[in-house]
Amino acid sequence: MIARTWSGRTTIAKEQAYIDHFTRNVLPELQTLDGFMEASLLRQEHGDEVGIFVITKWTSRDAIRAFAGDDIERAVVEPEAAAALTTSQTLARAPADIFGAQSIMSRAFVNEDAGGRDTPLRRFVLPDRDDPGYDEAAALALLEGAAEGDTESAEVATGYYWGERKLRSYVERALTRAREAGDEAAIRAAERFLR
């Protein structure tokens, strides 16, 4: 896994314009690329400015090249994004993962928690953790949470993060069932999990 990081700054007034650009344009493009795993969009206020931090995760450096070109450390900043920023890095860093644990930032959909959580965490009905069917139920809960834009609740309820390798076989089965049923939302969620 390769984590590619980039940052920029904007004003509080222009912050939403960047978030909108990222969720409307950048994220949908990333989701079409083989090897893209997930993205996180973070913010930090600095007086009148807001620091924007983007972390994308990829299966390989070749996958990043499909997005960024041959120089994978060259920042990709489209004109609409540049217009919303006061400054931005010209380089993006792409260090390789040396430890396989997933971070607490894992989310299936980047913007689901923007602005803080106004609603309580959703409850999922799951068997006991020692039940042989627990992992399959957890996989289905993660997919359901993602489809509803509430991955956080599913992660908290199951104790697993989005993309957990241990759950892949269950998600593959769910994908087969979704394809047979023609459930496009479930197909998209399962395919994203398996990236």
Q: Averaged in consecutive runs of 10 residues, what is the pLDDT profile of the chain (195 residues)? A: 82 88 86 88 82 86 86 80 74 53 41 46 79 91 82 80 88 93 87 87
pLDDT, mean over the chain: 79
Q: What would the pLDDT profile of 77-112 be if each residue is shown by its tens digit?
A: 788 878 878 776 665 665 555 444 443 334 444 344
Q: What is the pTM of this model?
A: 0.48
Q: What number of CA atoms fall less than 13 Å from residue 84's CA on the CB side?
A: 20
Q: Please answer whether residues 94 and 2 qualify as being in contact, where contact means their C-beta atoms are separated by less than 8 angstroms.
A: yes
* Angle at 9 (CA atoms; ends 7, 13), nearest 5 degrees: 140
* Angle at 31 (CA atoms; ends 25, 34), nearest 5 degrees: 135
pLDDT of the residue at 117 = 46
pLDDT of the residue at 88 = 66
pLDDT of the residue at 119 = 53
pLDDT of the residue at 100 = 44
43: β partners = 52
| End-to-end alpha carbon distance in the chain | 11
Q: Of 126, 153, 122, which Cα lies nearest the Cα of 138?
A: 126
Q: Of 157, 174, 162, which Cα lies nearest the Cα of 57?
A: 162
DSSP classification of residue 56? E
